A and B are shown apart, each in its own frame.
Chain A
Amino acid sequence: GQQLNQSPQSMFIQEGEDVSMNCTSSSIFNTWLWYKQEPGEGPVLLIALYKAGELTSNGRLTAQFGITRKDSFLNISASIPSDVGIYFCAGQPDSGGSNYKLTFGKGTLLTVNP
Chain B
Amino acid sequence: KAGVTQTPRYLIKTRGQQVTLSCSPISGHRSVSWYQQTPGQGLQFLFEYFSETQRNKGNFPGRFSGRQFSNSRSEMNVSTLELGDSALYLCASRDGGTVIKNIQYFGAGTRLSVL
Q: Could you list which residues of chain A lie within 8 angstroms of chain B, going by C-beta atoms? A: 1, 31, 33, 35, 40-45, 48, 50, 88, 90, 95-107
Q: Could you list which residues of chain B lie within 8 angstroms of chain A, going by C-beta atoms? A: 4, 6, 31, 33, 35, 42-45, 48, 50, 55-56, 58-59, 90, 92, 94, 96, 98-109
Counted as pairs of residues, one from A and one from B, with CB atoms less than 8 Å apart, the total is 69
A43: chain B residues within 8 A (beta carbon): 43, 90, 106
Cα–Cα distance between A102 and B92 once the two chains are bound (Å): 11
Cα–Cα distance between A1 and B96 once the two chains are bound (Å): 23
Cα–Cα distance between A68 and B67 once the two chains are bound (Å): 38
Q: Which 5 residue pairs spanning A and B have beta carbons closest together?
A: A96-B102, A42-B106, A104-B43, A106-B42, A97-B98
Q: Is the CB of A100 within 8 A of B100?
A: no
